[in-house]
């Protein structure tokens, strides 16, 4: 399964109501590190299909969500479980590190 594009309209359904942990990738099209981590995020989304959900949030298009999570740098990765933030990381991370975040 590929990453889900999250907007203010589908945030509650896709993230808050998710039965599995959710990885939120806050990114921007102008961000070099975001471009570097994007293929890794896509790989993770294909590997964790039954145990987690991977979502992408474009901070330029979804400034309300970026503000809600106080995003100051991109890429920022946030793991949510049962509607609560359980892990957060800024910058490019390895696939192993991202999968470990989801296991928290």
Catalytic residue IDs: 31, 34
**The residue to which tokens 């969500």 are assigned:** 65
CA distances from 54 to 1, 4, 43 (A): 9, 6, 10
Which residues, in sequence order, are CB contacts of 29 under 8 Å at separation 6+?
Answer: 58, 60
CA distance linking residue 40 with residue 37, whole number of Å: 5
């Amino acid at each position: 399964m590929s990453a889900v594009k999250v907007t203010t309209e589908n945030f509650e359904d896709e993230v808050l109501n998710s039965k599995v942990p959710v990885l939120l990738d806050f990114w921007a099209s102008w961000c070099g590190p975001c471009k570097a981590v994007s293929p890794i995020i896509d790989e993770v989304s294909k590997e964790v299909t039954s145990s987690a959900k991977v979502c992408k949030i474009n901070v330029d298009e979804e400034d309300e969500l970026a503000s809600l999570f106080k995003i100051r740098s991109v890429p920022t990765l946030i793991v949510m479980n049962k509607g609560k933030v359980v892990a957060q990381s800024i910058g490019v991370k390895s696939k192993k590190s991202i999968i470990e975040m989801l296991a928290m």
